[in-house]
Amino acid sequence: MPSPKSAAFPSLAQAALLFVALFLCEFVVGAALRDANGWLGLNGMQIGVLSAVLGNGCVFAVVMHFQKLTYRELFHHAPSSPGSMLMLVVPPVLLLVPALLLTLTSALQLLTAVIPLSAWEESFFSRMADGSVAAVLAVCVMAPLLEEMLFRGIVLRGFLQRYPRWQAILMSALLFGAAHMNIYQFVVGFVMGTVLAWLYERTRSLIPCIALHATYNTTTLLLADWLEAASASRLLWAVVAALALAVCGVVALRAMLVPRAVRGKSA
């Protein structure tokens, strides 16, 4: 008879099948919207946003029904109140954003120098950053919300019940990166996925995860052009400020989220 730990959903294989089901749902919904686009009048980005929302909605409805999981449990399964999480944990979490942005931007610049973007990838990333309402909504609102619900709220939640802590964190981060289906977003997804998974494992709440994810995506859209055009001296000051903010954020999060006994062992 399987133990409760081995029976927790999803396993790694089940998570992979879950993503396949999600992609199929989005594909079917997107095809239906394109067929009906004669009277809907949507552009490609708007169809993509609606496909993601409706496809994810179908998958979430089925998974949460069979798991008997409520949205309250999905978003915040912690003993502390959502308000305290928002007021105490989110501010130091957001202090990590500048350092993450500068680190990942530098990594991507090195990667694109080694592996240049294809024409299709350049077009895809340009559409994501074109400044339209649909693009901003997709990148800054829908992606953080839906991806955190799926990757941390469902997948990582199940992994933490089945696998050792760091194995669960790293496997979920790898899946998060791989789900973006290109090497550039894989790098960003793996790094961000590791940070977000650790944050969820410590808090059991999607509130700080969504806040970090949404702020990172928004900051990327707002500062991408500035980072490309900034002089060396401005970049140096930006790095110094980002590191200072990150240190403050890490110290605060460590004090709040890492048990004193663990801090004592690592000291």
Count the neighbouring beta carbons within 10 Å of the beta carbon of residue 145: 17
143 neighbors 56 (Cβ within 8 angstroms): no
Integer angstrom CA distances of residue 62 from 8, 65, 68, 138: 16, 5, 10, 23
Per-residue pLDDT of the chain (267 residues; tens, 9 = 90+): 444 566 789 999 999 999 899 899 989 988 888 888 777 677 777 788 888 888 888 888 889 888 888 889 999 988 889 999 999 999 999 999 999 999 999 999 899 999 998 888 888 788 777 777 878 888 899 889 999 999 999 999 999 999 999 999 999 999 999 988 889 999 999 999 999 999 999 999 999 999 999 999 999 988 877 777 778 888 889 999 999 999 999 999 999 998 755 555 544
Question: Position 55: which residue type?
Answer: G
* Residue-level pLDDT at 121: 81
* Residue-level pLDDT at 228: 75
Count the neighbouring beta carbons within 10 Å of the beta carbon of residue 260: 8
Model's pTM, two decimal places?
A: 0.91
* Residue-level pLDDT at 2: 45
Q: What is the CA radius of gyration of the chain?
A: 19
